[in-house]
Amino acid sequence: MGISTVDPSHHLNLEDRIQALRQSLPPSVRIIAVSKFMPPEAMRRAYGAGIRDFGESRVQEAAHKQSQLADLPDITWHLIGHLQTNKARLALEIFDWIHSLDSLKLAQRLNGLVGDRSPSSDFPRPQVLLQVKLRPDGNKFGWQWPDLEADLPHLDQLGNLSIRGLMTILPQGLTVQDQQTTFTNLHDLALGLEKQPWQRLSFRELSMGMSGDYSLAIEAGATMIRVGTLIFGSRPLGVDSL
């Protein structure tokens, strides 16, 4: 299997880890550097090492960092965490991509907000991925497959969103075999959906794979990986359950 994983050892500094990661990937794969809970200085270093895509899980934190990094104009901001309806407007202002669209209701809300914008405001049309959970995972948001199938015709009507593909987060504790199967299943579902005659929906983008499982995700066809720890080191203890 072609992809070697980056040794997360602490011998390498952040710049070297990014370079090693980049070199281990096909050039077409987009690295989303997941910078949640990491300070803006670390993001500057990652930027200096060539990273232009940053992933944040909380809207407020991202807004704060965006103002601190305002001198870096060509960052693409990705929302990867659950979006509450009351933050939808702010999310549209600051994120270019929303990986974590997880309900028809939220989709309709975003679509309405983009549609309401005054000509002077600049909500660009957000690039959106649909979060799917192919395996039961009580802790995670996302559509289960049959529910998504039922909602797709409605999602296809939302002219102000640019829906580009699927995203998934694996539940904890799967065997490597099950991780691989799940990623492959998602890829197959996306291929099947891409063949259907939608008005607007596209399924070419697949956001899957994190520090621990990105090489499997890439073998299964990921176009974007969301990598935090491997680039920035460990997050403060406990924050992942917030």
Ligand X SMILES: *Cc1c(COP(=O)(O)O)cnc(C)c1O
Residues engaged in binding ligand X (CB under 6 A): 34, 36, 57, 80-81, 169, 210-212, 226-230
Cα 86 from Cα 66, distance rounded (Å): 20
Min dist CB 34 to ligand X, Å, is 4
Q: Is 173 in a helix, a strand, or coil?
A: coil
Nearer to ligand X, 126 or 228 (CB): 228
- Beta-carbon contacts of residue 86 (< 8 Å; ≥ 6 apart): none
Min dist CB 233 to ligand X, Å, is 9
| Whole-number Cα distances in Å, 217 to 13, 18, 56, 144 | 25, 18, 20, 19
- Within 10 angstroms of residue 26's Cβ, the number of other Cβ atoms is 10
Pairing of strands 30-34, 127-131: unpaired
Q: Which amino acid, residue 111?
A: N
Nearer to ligand X, 34 or 189 (CB): 34
Min dist CB 13 to ligand X, Å, is 17
> The tokens of 155 are what?
């999602």
Nearer to ligand X, 133 or 187 (CB): 133
Nearer to ligand X, 116 or 178 (CB): 178
Cα 191 from Cα 182, distance rounded (Å): 14
Nearer to ligand X, 80 or 106 (CB): 80
Nearer to ligand X, 171 or 212 (CB): 212
Min dist CB 226 to ligand X, Å, is 4
| Whole-number Cα distances in Å, 209 to 11, 179, 215 | 24, 10, 7
Min dist CB 214 to ligand X, Å, is 8
**Whose CB is nearest to ligand X?**
228
214 touches 20 (CB < 8 A): no
Min dist CB 122 to ligand X, Å, is 27
Nearer to ligand X, 142 or 161 (CB): 142
Min dist CB 115 to ligand X, Å, is 27
- Please calculate the CA angle 175-129-122 and round it to the nearest 5 degrees: 150
* Residue 94 C-beta-side C-alpha neighbours within 13 Å: 24
